[in-house]
Amino acid sequence: MSINRDKFVELAEKRVNKTIKSIRLIGNLANKTNYNYEDKDIKKIFTTLKNEITQVQKKFESTSNDSEFEFKL
């Protein structure tokens, strides 16, 4: 494998695993005994996550500009 490929694999595995852990932590927020939330909050979270996944996928399909985004409820 080339150095670029090795670096890609290393970073992709690290970042995807970190993302999976973060998504699972979001799942912990579903505990209604510890957290109070509304359906609109949940819809906004999942809409935002799906949109970000779509944007990342598009980056792999073409070259596009990074856009800064900060999630807020």
**Same domain assignment for residues 52 and 25:** no
| Beta carbons within 10 angstroms of residue 55's beta carbon | 13
Find the mean pLDDT for residues 38-53: 98
Position 42 pLDDT exceeds 90: yes
Domain count, the chain: 2
**Same domain assignment for residues 28 and 46:** no
**Same domain assignment for residues 41 and 22:** no
What is the full DSSP assignment across 1-60? --HHHHHHHHHHHHHHHHHHHHHHHHHHTT-TTT----HHHHHHHHHHHHHHHHHHHHHH
**Same domain assignment for residues 46 and 69:** yes
**Same domain assignment for residues 18 and 32:** yes
User: Which pLDDT score is estimated for 67?
Assistant: 67
Greater confidence, 67 or 20?
20
Range of the domain at 43: 37-73
pLDDT in tens, 1-41: 799 999 999 999 999 999 999 999 999 999 999 999 999 99
